[in-house]
Structure 1
Amino acid sequence: MGGPPDREAGLSVGAVAQRLGVAASTLRTWDRRYGIGPSRRSSGTHRRYSPADVARLEIMQRMILEGAPPGEAARVALAEATEPAEPAEPTGSAGPSARGHGAGGNRVPVATAGGGAAGEPGAARPEEVRGLARAAMAMDAHAAAHAVRTAIGRDGVVRAWDGLIVPVLAGIGRKYAATGDCVEVEHLLSAVLLGCLLEVPPPAAPRNARPVLLACAPEEQHSLPVHALAAALAEAGVAVRLLGARVPPRALAAAIRRTGASVVFVWSQTAETGAPEWLAELPGSRPAARLLAGGPGWARDRLPDAVRPVATLPAAIAAVESFFNPA
């Protein structure tokens, strides 16, 4: 997550390229064309990326993966990252894909496109976003949980995630990127969110006879998005088996065999966990299970042909539901 040396000296273009899983030449192009580049200089003429620079690039990369033109993504990233202390308003955009701590996995939103814009019926209101952010910063777990439960009960998991939870996580992520602070806030809010998502009851009469398996890639610790997907699928009447963080390929293969899963969803948040070749070795089932890869960590150009990438929480739900409701 970057310690004091990184904050002082900054990161080289090669280090940032490796962290984001893009080519160094791509970063240089973004800097030259869109002005989204390193802001520090080391000894000599070498330019270095600060934590805030990296946060901007992560916002830009995430938006491009979701289909935004690079120029528009750069403008949004530059605008959003100029106020790191404030949470984002619910505009239908996910927060930055910065690395988080522990299994809670803050700053790792699944997606965005399901919630309404601020002011629409069912969308979180700006004052609710600010209220949850204040509760988190005050380490008031009771108030934070009340805000999240209220939003889930009123709007459902997808809209609460997109309209309330993602903007607050994004704001905390930007504050960390700018200052290195708020790790304790991240941990507390992640625990609150996990508790609220686990309160969503499983369907009494699920639509699927064969369960949906949800897991994180090997060594991937960011499990909060998988819990959000599990809760959203439960609301949709879909039975799931949630395996959580850091699931080894052998364990996932065993789970597929034991459950006869209909759909297998695997989450990768960081490039370090996104090598996808092992997915091709997962065992088949009869009928065949659908394989879904979610999260920004995957090297998508290397995904096996049988694996379908999904970029957003609504897209993941739609991909799962299409298995039970084929066109």
Structure 2
Amino acid sequence: MCRLTSSGVPPAEAARLARRATGTPPSVVGVPEQPRPRSRAAGTLPLGDVRQEYRGLARAAVRLDAPAVERQLEAAVEQYSITGAWQEVMVPALHAVGRKWASSGDRYVEVEHLLSWHVSTALRRYTPSAAPQGAASAAGPVVLACVPGEQHTLAIEALNAALCELGLPTRMFGAAVPGEALTTAVQRLGPVAVFLWAQARSTASLALARHVADTSWGVKGARRQPLVVVGGPGWSGPAARELPRPPTLRDAVAILSGAIATAGTGEQR
């Protein structure tokens, strides 16, 4: 029963299966070939309709059970792909831990740190070191960066992994990229798109986003500019109307892969 509940099975269902097992080893009680259920009971955290795997991941994190966290992240990615695992398992667990920490003073911060580190490790593990070279790379890569002063990188790590999973070229610059360095990188790389992440309103800079969007390269008469896409709750002001701001990882992948496909046909901005 402990094994089942730690993997996300609700306690009542785990008890029923354990009683029915009649000596069967716990590792085979769960009948893995059956569809994994979704649970609507979120306890004190009203997260709505979430996958069972999220519960197992959150419980393992609260126990600081690093091997179990690693196993469950690996299983989630293998079953649902990067995008599905991020949206339906990783993000709900991260939000739950964050809310628990926010409502409990300084308690549970170690849980959030452990879970974030393992999520980052899992995302990088499933990110190829380089996307296959082919027709798509001729359009230029997608540049991924956090705006100056922004240290939260998990979302762009997930986006980088999801794009690489599709074989699309990216350049990841990570946290708190200075504006001048970002402009220089855009001029050197000639990217088809630039994705800027801002977790807080205090770091989101519409002026920087506009400057990047106006950055051009190439020979006279055939100069190009990148599509600038923004992400994160920091862009909830005018940028939400002025620039593309996909609400989910799946939407961001669709916009950026579409930009690469369009650029590859010669219909560049």
- TM-score range (shorter-chain normalised) is 0.7 to 0.9
Deviations 1:226-264 (A, max 9, x none): 100000111111111100111111111011012111110
What's the counterpart of residue 325 of structure 1? Answer: 261
Shift of 1:266: 0.2
CA gap of 1:275–1:288, structure 2 versus 1, over 3 A, is closer
Q: 1:212–1:240: 8 Å Cα contact kept in structure 2?
A: yes
1:198 aligns with 2:163: no
The runs of at least 4 consecutive aligned structure 1 residues that moved more than 3 Å come to: 302-305
State the alpha-carbon separation in 1 of the partners of residues 92 and 210 from structure 2: 35
Identify which of structures 1 and 2 has the higher relative contact order when contacts are C-alpha pairs closer than 8 Å and 6+ apart.
1
Letter of the 2:160 counterpart:
A
Q: Deviation digits for residues 105-144 of structure 1, max 9, x if unmatched?
A: xxxxxxxxxxxxx5xxxxxx41x22211121111122211
Equivalent position SS for 1:131: helix
SS at match of 1:269: coil
Compared CA separation, residues 303 and 251, structure 1 to 2 (3 A): farther
Match 2:44 to one of 79, 83, 89:
83
The superposition leaves residues 74-123 of structure 1 with CA deviations (integer Å, 9 ceiling, x where unpaired) of xxxxxx99814xx846x3xxxxxxxxxxxxxxxxxxxxxxxxxx5xxxxx
Report the secondary structure of 2:119's partner residue: helix
Q: Distance in 2 between matches of 1:133 and 1:302?
A: 33
Q: Residue 141 in 1 paired to residue 70 in 2?
A: no
What TM-score do the two structures reach when normalised by structure 1? 0.60
Q: Secondary structure at the match of 2:78?
A: helix
Corresponding residue of 2:190: 260
Number of matched pairs = 212
Q: Which runs of 5+ in 1 are unaligned?
A: 1-79, 92-117, 119-124
Are 2:144 and 1:214 equivalent residues in the alignment? yes
Whichever residue aligns with residue 143 of structure 1, its letter is: A
Alignment partner, residue 182 of structure 1: 108
Of all paired residues, the percent bearing the same amino acid is 37
Deviations 1:270-299 (A, max 9, x none): 111123112222222343211101111014
| Residues 20-35 of structure 1: pairs in structure 2 closer than 5 A | none
1:229-248 → structure 2 map (5 Å cutoff):
229-248=159-178
- 1:164 equivalent to 2:89? Answer yes
8 A contact 1:273–1:297 mirrored in 2: yes
Determine the structure 2 residue equivalent to 1:271. 201
Letter paired with 1:198: R
Residue 216 of structure 2 is aligned with which of 284, 288, 291?
284
